[in-house]
């Protein structure tokens, strides 16, 4: 009998391996790209629920006692931290990007019943879904709880914060870039899903022009039409505007679909940010 293992189960197992960095069987220690990761359970008083935070430190972290590092915050970390934290090692091998602290923000589950609230936390309001619209609250969690935790525990450079998000995570990246552009220095939105609230994202919501931040937006040429069309509309809208609070780079990447774009958008976004 053929057994099909759900993707959410695989992601959860990888996260558990990361959390238990020194497990007796040594499984994680054989995965050199994500071994020695640190784990924090963030009991958010703002959300009234916990987030699971996994941190991968740079290879030379223990050798540099005073050096500060950029911190890359990955939304949907339970799904994408194992992929991108490992891939980051390859980018470092070709010196395409600097050493950085990688922070995965995870719900510990891939479904709502298990505690995954991404559809609320990552989204601006919409008439089509009553449970959308929690992005302002989640932004407070990052600003008041998570960023202070990371920057008080590790040598993370508050002036070089980067946030990465895919799909609804990409929507949150655009939300925080539009509403508080100085909270993160670098923003990477991969296939942002704006199919239910595009109008919000075509309005100006910031109150400063001096954030000096950078925003990279990638849309896959083979993304689903319901995602691709509003993403292109967003790109066309803001590419024609002046006096933006960030330096904008918005591109279409050929040959990828909605989920397969992940490594390509991460690579090109990181190289552009730090070039």
Query: Digits of tens for pLDDT over the chain (275 positions)?
Result: 444 444 544 454 455 444 554 444 566 677 777 877 899 999 999 999 999 999 999 988 999 989 999 999 999 999 999 999 999 988 998 888 999 999 999 999 999 888 999 999 999 999 999 999 999 999 999 999 999 999 999 999 999 999 999 999 999 999 999 999 999 999 999 999 999 999 999 999 998 767 789 999 999 999 999 999 999 999 999 999 988 999 999 999 999 999 999 999 999 999 999 98
Instruction: Give the span between the Cα atoms of 111 and 168, in whole angstroms.
Output: 14
> What are phi and psi for residue 69, nearest 5 degrees?
-125, 150
pLDDT at position 15 is 54
Q: Which residues pair with 39 in a beta bridge?
A: 54
Write the CA distances from 77 to 28, 35, 99, 166, integer angstroms: 17, 16, 19, 10
For the chain, what percentages of helix, strand and coil (3-state, to nearest 5) are there? 40, 20, 40
pLDDT at position 211 is 75
β-pair type (49-56, 186-190):
unpaired
Instruction: Give the span between the Cα atoms of 257 and 261, in whole angstroms.
Output: 6
Instruction: Give the span between the Cα atoms of 201 and 230, in whole angstroms.
Output: 10
The helix/strand/coil state of 13 is helix
Q: Which residues pair with 217 in a beta bridge?
A: 189, 250
Write the CA distances from 227 to 35, 38, 85, 192, 221, integer angstroms: 35, 34, 26, 7, 11
Q: Among 3.40.190.10, 1.10.1040.10, 3.40.50.1820, 3.30.565.10, what is the CATH number of 7-274?
A: 3.40.50.1820
- Helix H segments across 22-159? 77-93, 118-121, 135-141, 147-153
């Amino acid at each position: 009998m053929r057994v099909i293992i759900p993707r959410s189960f695989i992601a959860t197992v990888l996260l558990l391996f990361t959390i238990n960095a020194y497990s007796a069987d040594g499984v994680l220690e054989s995965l050199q790209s994500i071994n020695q990761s640190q784990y924090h359970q963030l009991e958010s008083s703002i959300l009234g629920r916990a987030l699971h935070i996994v941190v991968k430190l740079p290879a030379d972290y223990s050798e540099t006692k005073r050096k500060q590092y950029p911190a890359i915050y990955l939304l949907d970390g339970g799904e994408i931290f194992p992929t991108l934290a490992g891939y980051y090692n390859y980018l470092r091998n070709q010196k395409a990007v600097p050493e950085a602290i990688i922070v995965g923000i995870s719900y510990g589950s891939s479904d709502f019943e298990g505690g995954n609230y991404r559809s609320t936390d990552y989204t601006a309001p919409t008439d089509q879904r009553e449970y959308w619209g929690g992005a302002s609250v989640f932004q407070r969690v990052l600003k008041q709880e998570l960023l202070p935790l990371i920057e008080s525990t590790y040598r993370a450079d508050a002036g070089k914060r980067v946030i990465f998000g895919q799909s609804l995570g990409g929507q949150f990246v655009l939300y925080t870039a539009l509403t508080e552009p100085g909270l993160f220095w670098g923003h990477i939105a991969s296939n942002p899903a704006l199919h239910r609230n595009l109008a919000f994202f075509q309005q100006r919501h910031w109150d400063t022009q001096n954030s000096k931040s950078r925003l990279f937006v990638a849309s896959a040429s083979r993304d689903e039409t319901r995602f691709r069309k509003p993403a292109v509309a967003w790109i066309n809208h803001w590419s024609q505007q002046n006096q933006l609070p960030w330096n904008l780079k918005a591109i279409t990447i050929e040959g990828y679909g909605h989920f397969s774009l992940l490594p390509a958008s991460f690579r090109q976004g990181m190289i552009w940010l730090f070039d």
